Structure 1
């Protein structure tokens, strides 16, 4: 891979992984517009690992607190942090089940430009509706296990390309009454186990693959993806209460329209 290709794709992955704008919609654009070939499995592993490192390091204090509280709950010591840890685990289950049962079917039938364009637009509209109608009263410690499970079901739907994992989970969270900040924080925290599990599965495929590995490109991809994702998380959480979801909705509609235009014009 050329250095420019590595940097651009890593930036796309790092930024779009946590913004509600669909990483899959963006990752098809460079190949369509610039004629680049598929970046390969090893590069996907690298940039996803960079994004995973970013969210883990950014929320490292929260993760330590949640882990300690969760282990404490096993011994009978319960707190709002231990409840949140259990809700994150519960919210992860639907995506795990859907991933094992439907991943191959989705990859075969839904991973095309038309599906990505339609889901980018449709789920963009749903995000706008959720943001406008949300009562925005609850933080992540107040939602309860039923709401956590529903957000987890939304995360499972994000297996469909163009949906956006963060977009689907934040849409569900807003509809269920969480504030924008709480919706974003819970979405980012619940991405950790799913991203870790996905990284393990893809790494397994990579180890079994006979393809050659460009370690220099992978290293650069990890670093760029990490930096982009870390900055994205920081500034998204800092400004989301002020800017709302409308800019991302508009962007999704424009992006979906561009993809449809590329297909039919």
Structure 2
């Protein structure tokens, strides 16, 4: 992987992790058209996901600190309740990751027809929120598990994690700002957990990193972190203004082009 490829893929990851257009789907498309080897892409994907997790922590540092302080009081307060809902939302994606890891990994690796079809599903989800104007509620334990199920489905390349979770929350009547906040905070534990598991795999098989230039890794990480910061803040403003329909159109176009491209080439 060259430095330029790392820069491009890092920016793609940083932007698409928060914007509702599927980071995994765009990384698959980007890797396919840049002809990046799958084993390089796996390692690089772990690194840039860590960068976007760090950008989430930076943006929501006050919220995270308040949650930690509230939980450490060891009483059933609003912070403990919210943290419990985050933990509950993690259950579906955790089960899928543990029980179907090999099957999920088999879905990656240049399958742009699948990516295109799933981007069309993301487009449909985002479009549905345009017609649902009632967004006054808060996240509950029931909605948390449903949003968690949406996150589990978003393991598929082309299904946007932020798009599916925010759309699900909005369709359940959750307030726009609360939907975006919960969506971004709930993904931190799964990302960190997945990174730890993959790091363990790399420690056990260090030969996998022999062909990865350090400069490319650094450039990719920095690009993903900076673009992630910008995209996270932008996405919060987008959800608040109710402009997800434009991303539905975008996903529809890119998904259609991916499907057509897979059938022609």
Using the size of structure 2 for normalisation, the TM-score is 0.91
Give the Cα separation in 1 of the matches to 2:41 and 2:244. 33
Equivalent in 61, 85, 99 of residue 97 of structure 2: 99
Which secondary structure does the structure 1 equivalent of 2:106 belong to?
helix
Q: Which whole-Å CA distance do the structure 1 matches of 2:260 and 2:116 have between them?
A: 10
| Structure 1 residues 11 and 109: CA distance shift in structure 2, 3 A | closer
Q: Secondary structure of the equivalent of 2:158?
A: coil
1:59 and 2:55 correspond? no
List alignment gaps of at least 5 residues for structure 1.
none
The corresponding residue for 1:216 is 215
Compute the TM-score of the two structures, normalised by the length of structure 1: 0.91
Q: Is the 8 A contact 1:46 1:219 kept in 2?
A: no
Extract unaligned runs of 5+ from structure 2: none
CA distance in 2, matches of 1:109, 1:62: 35
Change in 2 beyond 3 A, CA 1:223/1:34: closer
Q: 164-173 vs 251-260, which deviates more?
A: 164-173
Q: Which residue of 2 aligns with 1:235?
A: 234
Distance 1:169 1:205 in 2: 29
Matches within 5 A, 1:127-146: 127-138=126-137, 142-146=138-142
| Residue of structure 2 equivalent to 1:4 | 4
Deviates more, 1:235-244 or 1:170-179: 235-244
* Residue matched to 2:117: 118
Matched, 1:152 2:148: yes
Residue equivalent to 1:189: 185
What is the number of residues matched between the two proteins?
259
Distance 1:206 1:243 in 2: 41
CA distance in structure 2 between the aligned counterparts of 1:152 and 1:24, rounded to whole angstroms: 18
CA distance in structure 2 between the aligned counterparts of 1:80 and 1:47, rounded to whole angstroms: 32
Q: Which moved more, 1:144-153 or 1:24-33?
A: 24-33
Distance 1:248 1:109 in 2: 24
Partner secondary structure for residue 131 of structure 2:
helix
